[in-house]
Structure 1
Amino acid sequence: MTLSVSVKHTFEGFTLDADFKAPAGVTALFGSSGSGKSTLVNAMAGLLRPDHGRVEVGDRLLCDTDQGLCLPPHKRRVGYVFQEARLFPHLTVQQNLRYGRWFAGIRGSDTEERRLVDMLGIGGLLTRRPGALSGGEKQRVAIGRALLSHPLILLMDEPLAALDEARKAEILPYLERLRDETAIPILYVSHSVAEVARLATTVVLLDKGKVLKTGPTEEVMSDPALAPAIGLREAGSVLSAKIVKHHDDGLTELASAGGRLFLPRIGGNPGDRVRVRIHANDVVLSLDPPGRISALNLLPGTVTSIRAGSGPGAMVQMQAGDDQILARVTKRSIAALGLEPGTGCYAIIKSVSVSRADIGAGDQSIAKSDTTT
C-alpha cells in the first residue's frame, strides 16, 4: 500500500513544505529536532489542519485541501503510537488492547488478538495494569492497542525516545517483526540513525522543513552529500547480508553483495537475512590488498564520489558489488592515495567495530533476491 503526502504549513518563524511518495513497508521520517517531523505526522493524523495538503494512503484520501476535504482524526483509521504509551492506568493490559478495536467499532476476533499478543511478546502481561510494566512493555502494549483498531496506517512518533538503551534493545526486535509480519504501512518518526538503519524500508530525510531526499534506506544513508544532515559522526552505510555460518571461535560469517563479512557472533540461523550498519569513521581505505593485518573484513570496490568538508576531512563513497560504502578520511589521505571517482580500492573494516546495536533483522518481506550465496 503506497503512501503519498504533500503538506505545506507555516508557523511563526518556520515553514513546513514536504512532498514525498513511499512504497509499502516502514517509511522513516528522519531529521534533527525542529526539522518538521512531528508537524508532518500530526498533519497526517488529522491533529493539524495544514494550510495546503494532500494525504493519501493506498486509494483512500485522508486530506485534500484543494477539495475542501480534511477528515477528522477518528475517521481516518490511523493508529498513532506516541513517545509515551498513554495507556489507561485503571485498565488491565488486555482491556487496554481491546479498547483500540472497541473505539474503532470493530468486533475483531480472539484469534487475531492472540496472534498479535504472541507477535509482541505480551502474553504474560495481560492481567497486569500499566503501573506494573516497564517502559518497553508499555510501548508494546500501546502498539498492540493501535493495531487492534485495524488502522490503514500506523504512525509512530519517536516511540523509543523516552526509553533507555536496554529498553530500546528489548523492543527493537518486536518492531522488526511488526515490519515483516504485518501488511500495514508504518510511518516511523525518529532522529536516531541506529533505529532508522535497522527498521526503515524507505527514508524521508527532512531538514528545516524541507525534504532533502527520499529513497531506499541503503541509498539515502550512504549518500555522502547528505552526511552533514545525518551527522558526520553518525554517517555510514547500511548493508543487507545473509548469515552463512556461526564459527567455533565466536565469529559469524555473513555474505553481502560486496563480499564476506566476519562479525562477533550474532543471533539468527544460517540463511537468515540481516542488516549491518557500518560507521564511516570505522572504514579504512587501501589501494592494495593489505598483507598481514588484524582486520578480517576486506571489501574490494570502486570510488564513486568524494565530498570534501570545510575542515580537514572528506567523505568517500565506494561501490562494492551492489552496496555503497562510506569512508570518512582526511583530504591529505585522499591526495596521498590519488583517490578520484573510478579508482579501485579496498574497504577495511574491523570486526569488533560493528556493535550489536548496529545489527538487525533483514526485511524478510521485501528482501532482495539472494545473489551472494
Structure 2
Amino acid sequence: MLNLDFKIDRGEFSLAAQLELPSQGVTALFGRSGSGKTTLLRCIAGLEKTAQGSLSFDGETWQTERFFLPLHQRPIGYVFQEASLFPHLKVLANLTYGYRRIPKEQRKLQPEEVIKLLGIEELLGRYPDELSGGQRQRVAIGRALLTSPQLLLMDEPMASLDATSKAEILPFLEKLRDQLELPIIYVSHAIEEVTRLADHLVLLEAGKVIAEGELQDLLTDPSLPFIQTETASTVLRAVVKQPDTGDGLTELKLGNQALFISKTSVSAGQPVRVRVMARDLVLALTPPTETSLLNCLTAWVLDIQPDPNPSQALVRIEVADQILLARVSKRSVENLKLKERQLVYALIKGVALG
C-alpha cells in the first residue's frame, strides 16, 4: 500500500493530496494539464523537497515532517516524458547502466528478460539517434526496470510520441502490467491510455483529488465528468474462451455470455479487458435476427443520464455485474420506453472491439 499526504503552496499553484493507493496493478493519475499530476508524482519520487507531509510504501517510511528519504535511496524506477538516453552509449549499455550498480542479490530482473519483454532484441547495437521515438521510450522503460525497482513511476511516457509510436508501445506497456508483479503509478491526460492500462484511477483538478477508486467505477459514475465526454466509454473484464475462432476473431467469456472481438495475441483462460465506447453500443428490446452485429448481450437498465447533446441520453446498463454506457437518442429512449430495471439487449460490433 502507498500512503501519502502532501501539501505544496507556490502561490499561483497549490497541491493537497491525501491518498491510500494499492501496491499492485496500474494506478493512473489523470487530469488536465496543470492539475498537479506530475507534481504529485515528483513528490512520490522525492524530487519535490519543499513538499510537506508524509509518505510510506508497503510499511516503509519514505517521508515525514522530520524525515526525508532521498531520491537515490527510494526503490523506484522513473520514466520521463522524454527518453533521455545517454547519446554516446549503445542501447545495451543504456539498458545496463543502472543494472550494473545494483548489488547482485538485489537484482530482480535480468537484461535478457527485459529485452524480450520489450521486444528490443534487434536494437541492442544501435545508438539512441538511430531509434524511433517509440523504440527510445521502450529502451528507457527497460533501463528503469533493470534497476529492480519496487515501484515504477511513469510520467506521460507517450506524450511526445506520434500516433504510430503510441500504437507501437501500448502493447508493451500492457505486457509490462500483465507479466510483472510491479506496481506502477502512471501519469496521463489521455483517457485512451488510461482505459487500456489502469486498474485504479485518481482524478486531479487544480491540485486537488476530485475522486479516486477502481477504474470502472469512476468511468461510469454519473457525478464525474467522464460519462459526459464525447469519448465516454467503459472497460469490460472478460476471460478468453477461444483465442482463434478460425475467422480472425477471439471469443471471450463474459459471465455466461459470449463476446467476440478482433483477434489478438491471447491464450485460452487469460483475463482480458475490452474498451467499449458508448457510441458503439445499440440497445434493443428483443434479440435481433439476420443482422451483421456479432455481439448481443443480455443486460438490465440501471438508469438514464442526461447528455451534453440535448438530442441524446446516456443509458447505464448492467451486463454480468459490470456497467456499460450506451449513448442513444432521446427519441429512442421514448420509442423503446426505457426505464430502470428493464431487460434489454446490448448490441456491439465485433470490429469496434479489440
Given the two structures, how large is their TM-score scaled by the length of structure 1? 0.86
Q: Which residue is 2:343 aligned to? A: 344
Superposed CA offset, 1:127-172 (max 9, x none): 2211111212211111121122222211000111111222222222
Q: Which residue is 2:233 aligned to? A: 236
In structure 2, distance between residues paired with 1:126 and 1:249: 37
Shift, 1:102, TM fit: 4.4
What is the identity, as a one-letter code, of the residue corresponding to 2:12? G
Question: Secondary structure in 2 aligned to 1:95?
Answer: helix
- 1:286-365 counterparts in 2 under 5 A? 286-312=284-310, 313-354=312-353, 359=354
- 1:250-265 counterparts in 2 under 5 A? 250-257=248-255, 259-265=257-263
Q: Which residue is 2:21 aligned to? A: 22
Aligned length, in residue pairs: 351
- 1:4-43 counterparts in 2 under 5 A? 4-23=3-22, 24-43=24-43
**Residues 111 and 238 (structure 1 numbering): CA distance in 2 closer, same or farther, change over 3 Å?**
closer
Contact 1:31 1:229 in 2 (8 A): no
Question: Secondary structure in 1 aligned to 2:345?
Answer: strand
Q: Does 86-95 or 174-183 show the bigger shift?
A: 174-183
Deviation >4 Å, runs of 4+ = 102-111
In structure 1, distance between residues paired with 2:196 and 2:74: 28
Q: Which residue is 1:124 aligned to? A: 122
**Residues 224 and 117 (structure 1 numbering): CA distance in 2 closer, same or farther, change over 3 Å?**
same
Contact 2:226 2:232 in 1 (8 A): no
Shift, 1:280, TM fit: 0.6
Contact 2:31 2:204 in 1 (8 A): yes
Question: Secondary structure in 2 aligned to 1:151?
Answer: coil
In structure 2, distance between residues paired with 1:300 and 1:250: 24
Contact 2:6 2:15 in 1 (8 A): yes
In structure 2, distance between residues paired with 1:22 and 1:140: 26
Q: Which residue is 1:197 aligned to? A: 195
What is the identity, as a one-letter code, of the residue corresponding to 2:229? L
Contact 2:317 2:323 in 1 (8 A): yes
In structure 1, distance between residues paired with 2:325 and 2:204: 21
Given the two structures, how large is their TM-score scaled by the length of structure 2? 0.90
Shift, 1:250, TM fit: 3.0
In structure 1, distance between residues paired with 2:57 and 2:342: 44
In structure 1, distance between residues paired with 2:271 and 2:327: 27
In structure 2, distance between residues paired with 1:105 and 1:264: 45
Ranges in structure 2 where 5+ consecutive residues have no aligned partner: none
Ranges in structure 1 where 5+ consecutive residues have no aligned partner: 360-373
Equivalent in 195, 219, 222 of residue 221 of structure 1: 219
Shift, 1:29, TM fit: 1.1
Contact 1:308 1:331 in 2 (8 A): no
Shift, 1:105, TM fit: 6.4
Equivalent in 85, 99, 107 of residue 101 of structure 1: 99
**Residues 297 and 211 (structure 1 numbering): CA distance in 2 closer, same or farther, change over 3 Å?**
same
In structure 2, distance between residues paired with 1:230 and 1:212: 15
**Residues 28 and 98 (structure 1 numbering): CA distance in 2 closer, same or farther, change over 3 Å?**
same
What is the identity, as a one-letter code, of the residue corresponding to 1:341? E
Shift, 1:19, TM fit: 2.3
Contact 1:44 1:55 in 2 (8 A): yes
Shift, 1:108, TM fit: 6.3
Contact 2:152 2:183 in 1 (8 A): yes
Shift, 1:193, TM fit: 1.9
Q: Which residue is 2:61 aligned to? A: 61
Q: Which residue is 1:370 aligned to? A: none
Contact 1:57 1:152 in 2 (8 A): no
Fraction of identical pairs, as percent: 45
In structure 2, distance between residues paired with 1:301 and 1:98: 51
